[in-house]
Structure 1
């Protein structure tokens, strides 16, 4: 080995040693800085306690005897564990008043007699394939609402609104789903047909029945003729009369154009339909008296006699 090559190798070894020394100094410096930060943390939250030595921090001051640092907790919402009632086929609305802005909200459903949960929405994004679930927020993002469209009886259960904040908290809502349905008086479900004679009045009376009482008053009870809503577009003297859980559709005189399918559609119950058939009134000749019949017979015989003579 030449002298020049040995010098090069010696220089490389020296550089490596210097690098190792510098690295050790940097690690030592970082350790001291972190140790100082820990002391400042203790002084901040425990000003009455002296700064402990390195080897006596957890010996002289066990964790269970320390005072926990105070966290500025947000005021938690007062409304919790609320009960929401909905009817099958309608839209259920679950509200979560978080009283906070710029937080993430997750809606979760808990299953009965099981520890399983299902994440429904994250913020305004639907997380499941069932697109009946929709989350939205209002009033500066402080109220998050879960909409369940076309509610089913299987949707009943416990729903959790998880608010991702410091601290994290949850708001629970119990959803009860009942069945209610519309019914047109005087018809049978499955073969609802109403026959009327032309010129006679048509009266369709719709009421709401259900498995749970009291049934809340619907927001609306609309009448449809085919696919057209007619409550605000009535013709031929027709009118609608409304009650708390009932509505009547009345036509003073049945006309051919009044025939067709009519549906009673409440806001909180299943709709009901009936087929209206307008029949033409048969013309019935009044019965003739015996005297009129005799005169008619005599006239026919005389006419027959005149024809015979002329022949």
Structure 2
């Protein structure tokens, strides 16, 4: 926290005392320090980290997460598989705000708004996360009657190694959408920024309910297991994923049926032989 405060102070000094002009007389970008430097969010809710850049010119504004030096956004584009992160930039405005939906405890830390000037300037913001809304797994609170999540498709899913695992979870709560939907692989929360990579989430709220789609590309054998969709205000749903190393489920069913098929052929052969001997 001390280091974060120091970084925040450095960023603030750059925004309060900008070098307004270069030697060519062109105004340089600087931060209009209007937003809070220390933000507190609540688990499951959305939050905005404010960044206002004056006179950006043709410079690029980016957001970086300090704990792993991961670039989250660059200009209006998102560079993370975690769809909870996006940039809010109204057209022709100076605002480049980082939006985080369904905030989780692990999102806490320092985030930097950066402009690729020479030297680079940055604005550091500390995000604190309070666990005021409870997860359904530990503190189940009041839920709408019959509130239930469901994962489309069969209870067991078979995919080939190297293909994409696609799981779609729908929550049938219309009046009060869930404040958060977490995905678990076994007992661990799915980490969208793990070194494994290739994991993304798409969440959509409609009048019919809330849909959360989990995508795991280039499936590994280690991706096999139980997957649970856990909304904050509804009963969870689970499915089992089997990642097969070149073996198709139909082949498994054929191998199980083979003994019965062989016995049928043997019985027919014996009947034919018996008929021949009696002639």
Q: Same fold judged by TM-score > 0.5?
A: no
TM-score (norm 1): 0.35
| Structure of larger gyration radius | 1
More helix by share: 1
Q: Which has the higher contact order (CA 8 A, sep 6+)?
A: 2
